[in-house]
Amino acid sequence: MVPWRNTVNGRGGGRALSAAALALIVAALMLVAAGCGGDDDDGSDASDAPAETGGGGEGEPAAATYGQCEIQGEPGTIAFETESDGVLVVGYTSIAPSTYDGDTEESVDDGFNYCFAAEIANAAGIPELRLKRVDFAQLIVGREAGYDIAIDSFYIKPEREEHIDFSIPYGASWSGVVARGDDIPDQSEFKDLKMGVTLGSAQQIFLDEVLMPSQQYNTYDDPVAMFAALRANQIDLALIDMPVALAAACESDGEITTIAEITAGGETGVIMEQPSPNKAAVDQVVQRMLDDGQLKSMEEKYFYEAFCDVDPDTLESWDP
């Protein structure tokens, strides 16, 4: 996703955030935010969502349509080597409405990641997209094959770059600081408050290595338990991936609110096998989409409804 910074997310009312509702939010958004995918299915079968090819002028690349995506780039502007002629095979870890919208691989025809991949296919003059489920653990160590690109909010990390190629960053997923709607602290109190994080998370590393709070924080196995502890006054703040923070605050109707951002998380990139002949071409498409604001517009289109239309770019930074 496009870099997220700065929001005050509060809604009027007092409807409690139910465990069932939050579980649905987490299921849809946690993988998107975690930058790590995470699925044990090897996804060996590839399926396609065919694109319709339209006519171009003589000597011009043919324009194509890809599901419901609103293609903005010019067709045929990059050279791209594919596994299969005329098909861009796109690796993914999970199907969700905001990222790969559909019930099955065959029916996916919309979503941020799908339409991002469609822009790359269009720029390469490739008329067809095909999805391939990949195993995250195998993907990041360079042991996954049979895909051209993989897009699913994967964090760019030095240890991963030893095994796979990343595009230039197309965004970042940072972390939200979540408080009770009726008890919003000041940044000056941050280090001395009782906080909660999910066990083993980037937010826990942030507390241990960056903030080093004066009180021992609590750890939880899942966000549902952590938000319940926040509502019960067992902790003062919850720190969690920004998409989950904003979606949970939206669902709570003001009972909890995302008050700040911390840079716990990482930048995200498109993955390719290493060494990839396509890295420079993918970088060119990503840069164009950053420069003309298309990625930001896609973020708003596919994610902001779940955030109650809150723009994360308005959040105050609470980095030490």
pLDDT tens profile 246-274: 999 999 989 999 999 999 988 999 999 99
For residue 53, what pLDDT is reported? Answer: 43
d(Cα 258, Cα 243) in Å, to the nearest integer? 10
Flag whether pLDDT at 13 surpasses 60.
no
Q: Specify the DSSP class assigned to residue 191.
A: G
State mean pLDDT over 70-98: 95
For residue 287, what pLDDT is reported? Answer: 98
For residue 36, what pLDDT is reported? Answer: 52
pLDDT, greater one: 25 or 140: 140
State mean pLDDT over 220-228: 94
Going through the chain in order, the beta strands assigned E by DSSP cover: 46-49, 52-53, 64-65, 87-92, 128-133, 149-155, 164-166, 171-180, 195-198, 218-220, 237-241, 256-273, 316-317
State mean pLDDT over 20-28: 50
Closest among 51, 88, 25 to 305, alpha carbons compared:
25
Q: Are 98 and 303 in contact (CB under 8 A)?
A: yes
State mean pLDDT over 33-43: 43
Domains, the chain, with CATH or none: 19-34+173-265+309-313 (3.40.190.10), 46-171+267-306 (3.40.190.10)
State mean pLDDT over 97-104: 93
CA distances from 273 to 82, 95, 252, 265 (A): 11, 22, 41, 23
State the pTM of this model: 0.76
For residue 41, what pLDDT is reported? Answer: 40
